[in-house]
């Protein structure tokens, strides 16, 4: 997997009202990043807690972290997404990762 922190452009009006809806609008890259991020940590390849960089409509950047205590919850949400799009290989990978946490 590619080791690049994604920059996700956001709409600050949505950010104020519904943060989860905002992330769902960019869900594919976001959920793939969660899987990549946790996998790298399980394999000991990366130690940074930076998950993504959110960019608002004025070009302002915000770092989004994912501490270890949030891995299971994030992976479970990603798994629901991959089940919905029927990408079962990724679901299997997520289940293996959850066993290691």
- Say which residue the tokens 């949505």 belong to: 14
The answer to whether residues 40 and 47 touch, using CB atoms and an 8 Å cutoff, is no
Q: What is the pLDDT of residues 33-42, one digit of tens each?
A: 999 999 999 9
pLDDT of residue 20: 60
Q: What is the pLDDT of residues 10-33, one digit of tens each?
A: 766 655 565 565 555 567 888 999
Please report whether residue 2 resides in a domain.
Answer: no
pLDDT of residue 46: 74
Q: Please tell me what DSSP assigns to residue 67.
A: -
Query: Into how many domains does the chain fold?
Result: 1
Please report whether residue 73 resides in a domain.
Answer: yes
Domain extent for 20? 7-95
């Amino acid at each position: 997997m590619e080791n690049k922190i994604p920059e996700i452009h956001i709409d600050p009006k949505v950010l104020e009202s519904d943060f989860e809806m905002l992330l769902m609008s960019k869900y594919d890259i976001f959920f793939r990043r969660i899987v990549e991020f946790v996998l790298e940590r399980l394999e000991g390849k990366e130690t940074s807690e930076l998950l993504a960089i959110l960019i608002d409509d004025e070009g302002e950047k915000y770092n989004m972290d994912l501490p270890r205590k949030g891995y299971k919850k994030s992976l479970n949400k990603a798994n629901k997404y991959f089940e919905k799009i029927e990408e079962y290989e990724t679901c299997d990978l997520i289940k293996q990762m959850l066993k290691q946490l």
